Amino acid sequence: MNNSAANTGRVLWAGLRALLVLTVVCGVLYPLAVTGIAQVAFPGKANGSEVTDASGRVVGSELIGQTYTLPLKEGEETPTPDLKWFQPRPSNGLGTNSVNTRYSIILSGATNRSGDNEDLVTWVKDAKAAVVKDNSTADHEVKPSDVPADAVTSSGSGLDPHISPEYAKLQVHRIAERNHLTVAQVDKLVADHTDGRILGFVGEPRVNVLQLNIALKQLVVTQG
C-alpha cells in the first residue's frame, strides 16, 4: 500500500514538473521569442500593418476595410456613403438585415446565401442601381454593364480592404467632380495605387481603398 502511494506521488510530481516546464517554455519563452523576432524582422506587420496619413496619425490597417459615410441622421439604420471619397466594396451582405454593413471586425464572415436567394438578388440589384446613380455625373453616364462584381458583392470575410481597378476607375468621374479635380488627376491617382498580381501571377490586380483615399485627401489639400 505504501509503495503504491509512493509511486502515485512520484507520477503526480513528474506530471507537475512537466506541466511547469511546458508552461514556461510554451507559454512564456516561446511567445517572447516569436514576439521579439517579429518586432525586429517585421515590425509593421507584427503591429497590425498600420496605415498613417500625411501627418503621421494612424488611420487604420492596410488589411481591414472601412466605410466612408456621412453621420447617421435620426431614424436612419444604414449610413449614407460620403461620395467625395472612393467607396469600398459592400461589407457582409448588402441590406439592413445583413450580417455586417459597417466593416465591424467582430462580425467577420459571409452571409452564406445562395446565388438564387431572393434577398441577395434584390440587394445586388439595388446595389447596382445605386452604383450607377452615385457615379454618373453631368458629363459621364455609368451603364449597368460597367459595374464590376466587387461593387455589389462582399468578400468572403466582409473585411476586404481592396477593390478592383475596374471599380476604382468607375468612381473616377464622381471623385473628380466632388473634389474639384480633373479626371486625369484622379485617373493617375488610381493608377499609382494599383497593385499588380503577387509575383506576377498570384491573385488579381487590386487597389487599397484606405491608401487611395489618403492620397486623394493629400491631393485635394495640395490643390486647395
pLDDT of residue 83: 95
Is pLDDT above 60 for 192?
A: yes
- Over residues 158-176, the pLDDT tens digits come to 788 999 999 999 999 999 9
Pairing of strands 58-61, 50-52: antiparallel
| pLDDT > 70 fraction of the chain, expressed in percent and rounded | 90
Band the pLDDT of 35: cuts 50, 70, 90.
very high
Indicate the burial class of 181 (C-beta count within 10 angstroms; 0-12, 13-18, 19 or more): middle
pLDDT of residue 213: 97
Cell numbers found for residue 28? 512564456
| Stretch 121-139: mean pLDDT | 92
DSSP code, position 134: H
pLDDT of residue 95: 45
Start-to-end CA distance of the chain, whole Å, equals: 91
Band the pLDDT of 156: cuts 50, 70, 90.
confident
Is pLDDT above 60 for 96?
A: no
| Stretch 42-68: mean pLDDT | 87
Band the pLDDT of 105: cuts 50, 70, 90.
low
What is the spatial distance between Cα 50 and Cα 152, in angstroms, rounded to a whole number?
Answer: 27
pLDDT of residue 104: 66
What is the spatial distance between Cα 29 and Cα 104, in angstroms, rounded to a whole number?
Answer: 33
pLDDT of residue 109: 67
- The residues pairing with 198 across neighbouring beta strands, listed in sequence order, are 202
Band the pLDDT of 28: cuts 50, 70, 90.
very high
Taking phi over 0 as left and psi of -120 to 50 as alpha, with beta for the rest, 182 belongs to beta
What is the spatial distance between Cα 116 and Cα 120, in angstroms, rounded to a whole number?
Answer: 7
pLDDT of residue 168: 98
Q: What backbone torsions phi and psi does residue 115 show, to the nearest 5 degrees?
A: -60, -25
Band the pLDDT of 180: cuts 50, 70, 90.
very high
| Stretch 75-84: mean pLDDT | 84
Average pLDDT, the chain: 87
